[in-house]
A and B are shown apart, each in its own frame.
Chain A
């Protein structure tokens, strides 16, 4: 996109394009980081309103980092946050007729463990790890999203994986 041809983003079509490109990432990022308690959708909304209010000062290429910074700060400002517990969708077991009750019990147990392990991760680890595993984002994409190096992303994700496995085993 020829974003940089424009000096600012005070243009409805451009603004709408930026929204389409970044809103879901921003939303997921906030969710992975802070969980549901800060209502990620509302934070996304506020961040984009702020982006529009400052549209004259922001070039298209800076819009993304502005959004992430604003949303991140706003959430941090809210209050010292609680431990983040993410919900998971219960797999429907009905489809797996061959599964034994033990297996079902086991897998439920595993999910609970995983949930616990996820909430024990640091915000940074959880965010990068889930962006990678759930959203299927490449390390490079995450690096540009968070404004850190690809190496750092790699390290965080690997660190997260290690910590998760450790926590699951310990329980």
Chain B
């Protein structure tokens, strides 16, 4: 075998054992081996493939995900805004409309179905505008007069009882210890303490300190307070005084008198002196006005 071929085979590590002996007999075999061995010293500084792969991943991943996610992300952003927007919209929509009056203030509200509510002083009324078509529900704390348009059930909810009507005019008075429903037109169903009572026009329902009080038919067209009057019939004086305090910004001191005595009559909402007299004169009560709108009442 030629020398050149032998060396080539040696270079490719393909020498058989016989050829290997021949190779060793070459005069420069030692030199070749030395060169080959020494070359190994030129070995590469170690290549850290893991850290390189790490770097490749780092530079790849942003591009990899950017292209894929750019519109998904955009879409998610828009979706999030829409969802949040809808959430706020429905939340605000689901909030009840709330109307409050303070002392000596009266107001009126027209409900979405054109029903009319007249609200007396110191009263809270709340209802949900959005669902009004299906669910005519109104919460009341205080006194209000309702003129209900015909339609679905109309409920006035108070903590004491619920008044259900279809289309009528009635007044609800719900004050501490007092619950009075007066029907002026049509019919009204009052549900109180799990009992139903149907009121026809002119009927009224009165609950005083948890006791139902029988009442006579009245022949009024609308509640007196609509005309700036408060009207009472055989009503304990305490309720009259409380109503008085709601209509005038005064504090009545009635410790010295018997507030359980009944009162029948009325007082006007626009003249304090006259109103005071119309209560006190029939019952022989003296009154004395102090500063800071305080009035002391005493028996004569």
Q: Which residues of A contact B (CB under 8 A)?
A: 16, 19-20, 23-24, 27-28, 31-32, 36, 40-41, 44-45, 48-49, 52-53, 86-91, 110-111, 114-115, 118, 129-130, 132-134, 136, 138-139, 154, 157-158, 161, 164-165, 168
Q: Is the CB–CB distance between A161 and B11 below 8 Å?
A: yes
Given A52-B56, A139-B12, A158-B4: A88 in contact with B41 (beta carbons within 8 A): yes
Given A27-B44, A31-B44, A158-B11: A41 in contact with B35 (beta carbons within 8 A): no
Docked CA distance A31–B45 (Å): 9
Is B55 in the interface zone, CB < 8 Å from A?
A: yes
Docked CA distance A115–B35 (Å): 11
Docked CA distance A165–B11 (Å): 14
Contact among B4, B8, B39, B56 for A134, CB-based, below 8 A: B39
Across the A-B interface, the 5 shortest Cβ-Cβ residue pairs: A88-B41, A27-B47, A133-B39, A48-B56, A139-B12
Which residues of chain B are near A138, meaning CB under 8 Å?
Answer: 12-13
Docked CA distance A52–B57 (Å): 10
> Residue on A with the closest CB to B53?
A19
Docked CA distance A168–B31 (Å): 11
Shortest beta-carbon distance, B96 to chain A, in Å?
Answer: 56
Q: Is the CB–CB distance between B38 and A45 below 8 Å?
A: no
- The contact sample of 20 A-B pairs, CB cut-off 8 A, is A16-B53, A23-B52, A24-B49, A27-B47, A28-B47, A32-B44, A36-B45, A41-B47, A48-B52, A49-B60, A52-B60, A89-B43, A110-B38, A114-B35, A118-B42, A130-B39, A165-B28, A165-B32, A165-B35, A168-B35
Q: Is the CB–CB distance between A91 and B31 below 8 Å?
A: no
Which residues of chain B are near A164, meaning CB under 8 Å?
Answer: 35
Docked CA distance A154–B6 (Å): 12
> Residue on A with the closest CB to B38?
A114
> Residue on A with the closest CB to B36?
A133
Give 1 or 0 for each of B4-29: 1 = CB within 8 Å of chain A CB: 10011001110000000000000010
Is B219 in the interface zone, CB < 8 Å from A?
A: no
Docked CA distance A114–B40 (Å): 11
Is B234 in the interface zone, CB < 8 Å from A?
A: no
Which residues of chain B are near A24, meaning CB under 8 Å?
Answer: 47, 49
Given A45-B52, A52-B60, A53-B63: A130 in contact with B8 (beta carbons within 8 A): no
> Residue on B with the closest CB to A164?
B35
List 8 extra interface pairs beyond A27-B47, A28-B47, CB under 8 A: A41-B47, A41-B52, A48-B53, A49-B59, A86-B42, A130-B42, A157-B11, A165-B31
* Contact count A vs B, C-beta below 8 Å: 98
A contact patch SS: helix
Which residues of chain B are near A87, meaning CB under 8 Å?
Answer: 42, 45
> Residue on A with the closest CB to B31?
A165
Q: Is the CB–CB distance between B42 and A91 below 8 Å?
A: no
Which residues of chain B are near A28, meaning CB under 8 Å?
Answer: 44, 47
Shortest beta-carbon distance, A107 to chain B, in Å?
Answer: 8
> Residue on A with the closest CB to B40?
A134
Docked CA distance A53–B59 (Å): 11
> Residue on A with the closest CB to B44?
A31
> Residue on B with the closest CB to A157?
B11
Which residues of chain B are near A40, meaning CB under 8 Å?
Answer: 47
Is B193 in the interface zone, CB < 8 Å from A?
A: no
Q: Is the CB–CB distance between B56 and A19 below 8 Å?
A: yes
Q: Is the CB–CB distance between B49 and A20 below 8 Å?
A: yes
> Residue on B with the closest CB to A113?
B38
Which residues of chain B are near A111, meaning CB under 8 Å?
Answer: 38, 41
Q: Is the CB–CB distance between A114 and B55 below 8 Å?
A: no
From residue 48 to 73 of chain B, which have CB atoms closer than 8 A to chain A?
48-49, 52-53, 55-56, 59-60, 63-64
Shortest beta-carbon distance, B3 to chain A, in Å?
Answer: 11
Which residues of chain A are near B8, meaning CB under 8 Å?
Answer: 154, 157-158
> Residue on B with the closest CB to A114?
B38
> Residue on A with the closest CB to B48?
A41
> Residue on B with the closest CB to A20?
B49
From residue 203 to 233 of chain B, which have CB atoms closer than 8 A to chain A?
none
Which residues of chain A are near B38, meaning CB under 8 Å?
Answer: 88, 110-111, 114
> Residue on B with the closest CB to A169?
B31
